[in-house]
Amino acid sequence: MTLVRNRILALLLSFALALGLLPAAAAAAAPAVSVKINGSAASFGSVKPSIINGRVYLPAAAFAVKLNATYQVDAKTKKWVIKRGARSIGFTPGSVKATLNGKAYTLAAVPVAKGKDVLVPAASLSDALGVWTSWSGSSKTLSVLTQKTVKHAMGSTTLKSVPQRVVILFNGMVDTSVLLGVKPVGAVESYLQQPFYEYLRPSLIGVKDLGDETQPNLEAIAALKPDLIIGSKMRHEKIDGQLSKIAPTVMTEDVFSWQENLKFAADVLNKQGKADAYLTKWASRTADFKKQMGADIRSTEVTVMRINYNGTARFYLEGFASNILSDLGFRFPKAQTDIATDIFNIPSKEQTPLLDADYIFDFTVDWDGDGAIYKTQKEWIDNALWSNLRAVKNKKYYKVNAVNWNLSGGPIAADKMLDDLYFYFNID
């Protein structure tokens, strides 16, 4: 009888789990987690940090105390409110609906009541309380920082909490912020499709337009009262001093090293998980592309170019699109690498053969919107030497999207460019 009863109980338990009738805490093992705060091991009482369904959870009350934060629990509604400085989060066990600084917020997962405490996803608590976290899967250790010194292209800057009011001063970082789920309070306008590129616009409603990337509006920046400014030494070295007087300022080295800039922003903004997920997916997609291209990719020559308003043509050996193509394994024509290391303006049509390659990608931009640049482009295309280019002969000359291939310069644009490459090389 005992054996039969145990089997029945086991079947009922499995049925309850399948229907979701038991809480997540009961549905999964909760391995031990170590926590370090500012480098020192943190100890907890009866309610321990845990891993539930693959996600790290922290005991909210105990963690708040260790951060010198305060918390209150409404005895009737069971609603928790935790405050640290000017930040606050409100939530109720059993629901992902929460408030962050008085605004609607969705927790990463459902909080689980545990004795007199409640286990809350660490990602949500760190967001809410303004601390940086990093996770070591091998040691099952969550490292927490209550302030962070950021090394960047112009020196180092110490931040007292994870920024909430971020100003962004170059296009690639605007794209990056959208990927990371960080809505800036202000950002420089796009080069085309102002104020912001169409594919980013839905995520940037209400964001202040700060003018041109090369000359951002300093008064408008100051009026926003940001707690962080992200710029680029390549663009903003001369105004770094002025920016730093407005708010803590960090700088990337350039505007087109998008993967490095993504990692940098994720570290500063406490969004490493989202960056890691994107980069893992990017590595998988590019590996698939290279596999399908096979050995041919190393012998395939590509030209990245545009036509300029002054009647010259320009090829790129370095830049957003060129770096992606190079990373994939494509080659640039020797005629180009013999005379340049980054970009080169071809002064006359007599030098059209410098553009010769198996594939030509042209992101000529109509900056003025009057179509005049396309007349210049047509003059190049109509010259006799153009028809001798291998890509032209083999119908492998492509006019590509300038936003995705050149102007935006962020991870979302990189995905769009890779989509184009799958299409142009007829890969599924």
Taking the C-alpha atoms of residue 358 and residue 80, their distance in angstroms, rounded to an integer, is 63
Helix and strand numbers (H, E) in the chain are 16, 25
**Residues forming beta bridges with residue 50, ordered by sequence position:** 32, 57
Report pTM: 0.88
Q: Do residues 253 and 232 touch, judged by C-beta distance below 8 A?
A: yes
Q: In 3-state terms, what secondary structure has residue 215?
A: coil
Q: Which domains does the chain have, with CATH numbers?
A: 29-144 (3.30.457.10), 163-270 (3.40.50.1980), 279-424 (3.40.50.1980)
Q: In 3-state terms, what secondary structure has residue 7?
A: helix
CB atoms within 10 A of CB 116: 12
Predicted local confidence at residue 31, as pLDDT: 65
Instruction: Return the closest-CA partner of residue 248 out of 126, 152, 146, 176.
Output: 152
What are the start-end ranges of the H helices in 164-228? 171-180, 218-223
**Residues forming beta bridges with residue 135, ordered by sequence position:** 142
Taking the C-alpha atoms of residue 74 and residue 61, their distance in angstroms, rounded to an integer, is 13
Residue with tokens 């091998």: 138
Q: Which two tokens stand for residue 287?
A: 């590996």
Predicted local confidence at residue 30, as pLDDT: 55
Which secondary structure element, helix H or strand E, spans residue 421, and what is its range?
helix 411-424
Q: In 3-state terms, what secondary structure has residue 320?
A: helix
Residue with tokens 């594919």: 199
Taking the C-alpha atoms of residue 242 and residue 224, their distance in angstroms, rounded to an integer, is 15
Q: pLDDT (tens digit, 0 to 9) for every residue of the chain, 428 residues total?
A: 444 444 544 444 444 433 333 444 444 445 689 999 999 999 999 999 999 999 999 999 999 999 999 999 999 999 999 999 999 999 999 999 999 999 999 999 999 999 999 999 999 999 899 999 999 999 999 999 999 999 999 999 999 999 999 999 999 999 999 999 999 999 999 999 999 999 999 999 999 999 999 999 999 999 999 999 999 999 999 999 999 999 999 999 999 999 999 999 999 999 999 999 999 999 999 999 999 999 999 999 999 999 999 999 999 999 999 999 999 999 999 999 999 899 999 999 999 999 999 999 999 998 877 889 999 999 999 999 999 999 999 999 999 999 999 999 999 999 999 999 999 999 98
Predicted local confidence at residue 367, as pLDDT: 83
Predicted local confidence at residue 239, as pLDDT: 98
Report the b/e string of 249-266 with b at 16+ CB within 10 A: bbbbebbbbbbebbbbbb
Q: In 3-state terms, what secondary structure has residue 400?
A: coil
Q: Name residue 369's amino acid.
A: G
Rg of the chain over Cα atoms, rounded to whole angstroms, equals 27
* Burial of 15 from C-beta contacts in 10 A (0-12 / 13-18 / 19+): exposed
What are the E-state strand segments in 202-311? 208-209, 228-232, 249-252, 302-307
184: preceding bond cis by omega (within 30 degrees)? no
Sign of CA dihedral 193, 197, 203, 206: negative
Q: Do residues 231 and 251 touch, judged by C-beta distance below 8 A?
A: yes
Predicted local confidence at residue 63, as pLDDT: 97
Q: Do residues 57 and 112 touch, judged by C-beta distance below 8 A?
A: yes
Q: Do residues 229 and 265 touch, judged by C-beta distance below 8 A?
A: no
Taking the C-alpha atoms of residue 413 and residue 256, their distance in angstroms, rounded to an integer, is 11
Predicted local confidence at residue 254, as pLDDT: 95
